[in-house]
Amino acid sequence: MPLSYIEHLLLLVDDVESTANWFIENIGLEEGHTPDFRVKVVWLYIGNRDVLHIAQLPVEEKEKRFQDRYLGGRLSEQNTGTGIIDHVAFRCTGLPEMIDRLESNGVEFIQRQANEGDLYQLFITGPDGMRVELNFDSTEAESHGILPTMTAAEAVAD
């Protein structure tokens, strides 16, 4: 039974609405149907596929017990940054439009390219320190004269 794809990523955050709105406004995910889990949660979609689940980091003991039990005893004490997961990456199109969107929203980002002809990447930091990578076909950057601030070869050069 081979794997097909990653189903979704769950973020436990202090402010569900603010985090969801950040992903909607800055990278274009859309809010969609969310089952009733009896805890505050929002599911964000790409097309008809839910890819990012954002849930309230439990504060009260009752909430902690519920989420810890539901998630199988894995509730983390860490509630900022990305913990063991360094970042989440999305494949994208529309590089110039995304750069305009991020700039107009005041979102800082860095531009990278693994090497000539490889993916063109934007790295941003979202709410609660979540790192997000946006990957574009390198031809989009080339055709619009968009240059990275660093390549992988430059990063390892001494």
Quick one: average pLDDT of 105-127? 88
- In tens, the pLDDT along 41-64 reads 899 999 999 999 998 876 666 666
Tokens linked to 54: 């954002």
Say what the pLDDT of residue 99 is.
Answer: 97
Q: What share of the chain is helix, strand, coil (3-state, %, to 5)?
A: 30, 30, 45
> What's the CATH number for 88-156?
3.10.180.10
SS3 at position 27:
helix
Question: What angle, 0 to 180 degrees and rounded to 10, lies between the N-to-C axes of helices 16-27 and 95-104?
Answer: 130
Q: Where are the domains of the chain?
A: 9-70, 88-156
Exposed, middle or buried, 86 (CB in 10 Å: 0-12/13-18/19+)?
exposed
Fold match between 9-70 and 88-156?
A: yes
Q: What is the dihedral of CA 59, 62, 63, 64, to 10 degrees?
A: 70
Q: Quick one: fold of 9-70? A: 2,3-Dihydroxybiphenyl 1,2-Dioxygenase; domain 1 (3.10.180)
